[in-house]
DNA sequence: TGTTATGATTTTGG
DNA sequence: CCAAAATCATAACA
């Protein structure tokens, strides 16, 4: 709380309280009568200086007395004027918060990752978009994906609750300070403009804390992302039956091994893999077959006889309807 | 432990 | 945007 006291102390030096001298018609009348006031002011100043030497109780009583002094409003307005001239002109220039590029970047990233954006629906859409952007193909419905989304949701919840806490603390503190200043503005010159400035300072402080939160959230998302990508990179061979189905299709369509979207979907269903995995497989197969036909000759023959056998079986089964004596080989 | 096979990702070209 | 080609990373194997 050192900061707080320092900030509050720093406030004292600025501004004039306009309503203090406007509101009191006495101050005008008193200022007009010369001679007497000069002595009064000297008197007041002397008493103010003397306060520091007195005990707390005495000082308190004296302060109250000074507050009620008939010359107080006049002195007050003079102080305001002086402060206005000396300090405000210097400070008034470098105002207006420049939008921090750092925090803008963090904001954008959190938005892009679906952390700070709209809840649930939009969030998962953004996550899917992020996943799609990370890899060429969206891997639909995989275990890792839902895992990733669950973790992201967790991060989002933590982020939002922390953010809320900070915002609440900020507004509480701001209110506290504002009340304090308003209270003090009765005894020392504090302009509303200055209270505003004070609030801005507090908000800046809190937003720097928020930036830390955003930064660590970003880091967490990045780590999660990289782990997610690593997990996706982990290769698991397709089962034997799946590769068989794929190879069968490939070698029986060797002249044009480009399955249509529907064919891909069917193959995917048969093999228990995704459509993009089917596409990957055919992409890899085409290029690798083309690169070294010799190496795949054996395989090609194998599947050629396989399909031939299948065809034979089919025709056999067809003929079985006519003559049920035909035996099938295993 | 080195090599190959293979699924996934990235880069490139139309 | 799609497919080829290159490349990466790991499973499977010798």
User: What are the pLDDT tens digits along chain A (330 aa)?
Assistant: 444 444 434 333 333 333 333 344 444 444 444 456 677 778 877 877 777 677 778 777 877 777 788 887 787 778 777 777 766 555 544 555 566 777 777 787 777 666 776 654 444 444 444 433 333 333 334 445 556 667 777 788 888 899 999 999 999 999 999 888 888 877 777 777 788 888 899 998 898 888 888 888 877 777 666 666 655 567 789 999 999 999 999 999 989 999 999 999 999 999 999 999 999 999 999 999 998 888 898 888 888 887 777 777 777 776 665 554 444 432
The single-letter DSSP state of residue A86 is I
Residue–nucleotide distance: A319 CA to B6 C1' (Å)? 41
Spell out which residues of A between 232 and 261 contact strand B, using CB within 7 Å: 232-233, 235-238, 243
Is nucleic acid strand B under 7 Å from A288's C-beta? yes
Among A280, A283, A295, residue whose Cα is nearest residue A237? A280
Residue–nucleotide distance: A108 CA to B13 C1' (Å)? 33
Spell out which residues of A between 135 and 194 contact strand B, using CB within 7 Å: 135-137, 139
Contact yes or no for A256/A217 (Cβ under 8 A):
no
**Smallest Cα–C1' distance to nucleotide B11: which residue has it?**
A136
Contact yes or no for A4/A184 (Cβ under 8 A):
no
Helix (H) or strand (E) holding A207: helix A192-233
Q: Cα separation of A265 and A78, whole Å?
A: 85
**3-state class (DSSP) for residue A330:** coil
- Could you list the beta-strand ranges (E) of chain A: none
Show the tokens assigned to A79: 């102080």
Residue–nucleotide distance: A227 CA to B2 C1' (Å)? 28
Nucleotide closest to A290 measured between CA and C1'? C4
């Amino acid at each position: 709380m050192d900061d707080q006291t320092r900030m509050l102390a720093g406030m004292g030096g600025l501004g004039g309280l306009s309503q203090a001298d406007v509101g009191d018609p006495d101050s005008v009348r008193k200022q007009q009568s010369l001679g007497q006031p000069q002595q009064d002011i000297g008197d007041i100043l002397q008493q103010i200086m003397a306060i520091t030497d007195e005990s707390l109780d005495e000082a308190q009583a004296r302060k109250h007395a000074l507050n009620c002094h008939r010359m107080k409003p006049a002195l007050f307005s003079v102080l305001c004027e002086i402060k206005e001239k000396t300090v405000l002109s210097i400070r008034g220039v470098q105002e207006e918060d420049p939008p921090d590029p750092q925090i803008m970047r963090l904001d954008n990233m959190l938005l892009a990752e679906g952390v700070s954006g709209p809840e649930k629906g939009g969030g998962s859409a953004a996550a899917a978009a992020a996943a799609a952007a990370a890899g060429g193909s969206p891997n639909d419905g995989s275990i890792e994906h839902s895992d990733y989304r669950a973790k992201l949701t967790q991060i989002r919840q933590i982020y939002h609750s922390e953010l809320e806490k900070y915002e609440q603390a900020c507004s509480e503190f701001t209110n506290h300070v504002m009340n304090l200043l308003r209270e003090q503005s009765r005894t020392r010159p504090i302009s509303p403009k200055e209270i505003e400035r004070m609030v801005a300072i507090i908000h800046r402080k809190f937003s720097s804390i928020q930036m830390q939160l955003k930064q660590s959230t970003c880091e967490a998302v990045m780590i999660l992302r990289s782990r997610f990508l690593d997990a996706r990179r982990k290769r698991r061979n397709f089962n034997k039956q799946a590769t068989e189905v794929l190879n069968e299709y490939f070698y029986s369509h060797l002249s044009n091994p480009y399955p249509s979207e529907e064919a891909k979907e069917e193959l995917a269903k048969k093999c228990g893999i995704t459509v993009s995995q089917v596409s990957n497989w055919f992409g890899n197969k085409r290029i690798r077959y083309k690169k070294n036909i010799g190496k795949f000759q054996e395989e090609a023959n194998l599947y050629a006889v396989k399909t031939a056998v299948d065809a034979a079986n089919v025709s056999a089964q067809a003929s079985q309807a006519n003559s049920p004596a035909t035996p099938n080989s295993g």
